[in-house]
Copies of this chain bind each other. A is one copy, B any other.
Amino acid sequence: MIIQIDAESDIPIYTQLTNQIIEGIARGDLLPGDSLPSVRAFAADLGVNMHTVNKSYHELEKRGIIEIIPKSGAVIASAQDITLSSQQRLMNHFRPLIAEALVLGMSNEQVEELVRSIIQDFSQPK
């Protein structure tokens, strides 16, 4: 999986890293049970601070996307039934984004179409 960090972006580097790992899993580049690199190796590889990678791994763990296993390191968790608290958290993030799309002039149908097209991107057979 190729991670691209944009140091010029408004989005914090650890968020970029977190998002790209999640998108990699959604695309099937990373599978449940796969290990992520060690914090040290990943930081060196990406040219970022170890603290940044560490923060990203802890964020992913908190959201139930990876498990951090002593000695083995960070491993992609198996998809389970989504928990209510995860569903609520996602809802709280979708809501302002959808509001913004509507406020900026997208129609209901355009928002639905945008979402469908992103879902399709992730569903392409590899």
CA distance A101 to B97 in the complex (A): 15
Main secondary structure on A side of the interface with B: helix
- Pick the contact of A105: B18, B81, B118 (CB < 8 A): B81
A114 lies within 8 A of B91 (CB): yes
**Interface hits, A4-33 → B, CB 8 Å:** 11, 18-20, 22-23, 25-27
Cβ of A69 within 8 Å of any chain B Cβ, yes or no, is: no
> Chain A: interface residue count, which band?
35 or more
14 of the cross-chain contacts (CB-CB < 8 Å) are A19-B96, A20-B96, A22-B96, A23-B95, A26-B103, A27-B99, A82-B101, A82-B104, A87-B114, A93-B97, A94-B118, A98-B118, A98-B119, A111-B119
